Amino acid sequence: MFPLGFRVRQTRPFLRDYRFLTRYPGRLNSKTMRILLTNDDGVYAPGLAALGQQLRHLGEVIVVAPATEQSGVGHSITYLTPLVPKSIHREGRHWAWAVEGSPADCVKLALSELFIDEPIDLVVSGINSGLNAGINVLYSGTVAAAIEGAFFGVTSVAVSLERDEDADFDAAAVTARKVIGQLVEHEETAGGLFNLNIPTAATSSTNEVKIVPMGLAQYGRRYEKRQDPGGRDYYWALWTEPDNAPEEMTDLIQLRKGNTTLTPLHFNLTRHELLDQMQDWAIRG
């Protein structure tokens, strides 16, 4: 059930009193950062391991990730079943906490319970296998985990790599570590939410990081209709091009050009410019 070299042990009741990992020598701003690492591909995903290895250069890395793959779950959270963290051992020592829940569950549980007495300085989600760009961020469990971190006022970064059979997660993790290290040096990023996407082309050479907005073009609007042997209809989602071409300076186009993209996001969905106008509409119930 579990990969070679891993051992699972259920947590003890007083989880927060357990000393998870030794502190790493990497320091930033004269302080060892405590970094919460999660993902949506599951605790055994290669992207998680690669990113964790690199983030150790920035501080202490604490892994709390879904026990199974949670791709495309968005910002779902668990209400009707308990969340049970399990200790995953690697090479004879604790390596991560696996949670039977969503990426947002992992972050919410970590920040509000598991590490409430040992504050987290940075939340990083990834590396996801597959880009999370444009409006697809709204479907993404990877981005949702970062959003959950931002809910708590913790600087949060989602990291995704273009899907490829020979995806180089190690190289992408180096890029992510460099970008994140530079990002958190700026005070303006405190408590902020960021989406980092790395195309396959960018893992083989040093390239420019484009700071761009998310594209709004809608991909994948079509389904292919089929029938099962019983004559019942079923549908396969298709990856189709948008009706209107994306704008040039957006994450979608820059990724196609082989550039790494970084986008500042926020979770406040209020449309403020219309909010003021609506005050005069005298709408009644």
Residue 76 assigned to a binding site: no
4's CB contacts (< 8 A; 6+ apart) are none
Query: How far is the C-alpha of 1 from the C-alpha of 151, rounded, in Å?
Result: 34
Query: How far is the C-alpha of 17 from the C-alpha of 57, rounded, in Å?
Result: 25
CATH homologous superfamily for 6-217+246-278?
A: Survival protein SurE-like phosphatase/nucleotidase (3.40.1210.10)
Strand, coil or helix: 31: strand
Band the pLDDT of 9: cuts 50, 70, 90: very low
Residue 41 assigned to a binding site: yes
Structure tokens at 233: 């209809």
Residue 280 assigned to a binding site: no
* Mean pLDDT computed over 39-56: 97
Return phi, psi of residue 137, to 5°: -60, -25
228's CB contacts (< 8 A; 6+ apart) are 234
187-219 residue pLDDT tens? 999 999 999 999 998 888 777 899 999 999 887
Residue ranges per structural domain of the chain: 6-217+246-278
- Residue 140: left if φ>0, alpha if ψ -120 to 50, beta else—which one? beta
Among 278, 210, 279, which residue's Cα sits nearest to residue 247? 210
136-188 residue pLDDT tens? 999 999 999 999 999 999 999 999 999 998 899 999 999 999 999 999 999 99
104-135 residue pLDDT tens? 999 999 999 999 999 999 999 999 999 999 99
> Average pLDDT over the chain, rounded to whole?
88
Which residue is associated with the tokens 């809910």?
Answer: 151
DSSP H helices, the chain, are 46-55, 103-109, 141-151, 169-183, 251-256, 272-278
Query: How far is the C-alpha of 177 from the C-alpha of 57, rounded, in Å?
Result: 8
Residue 71 assigned to a binding site: yes
* Mean pLDDT computed over 53-70: 97
The model's pTM is 0.86
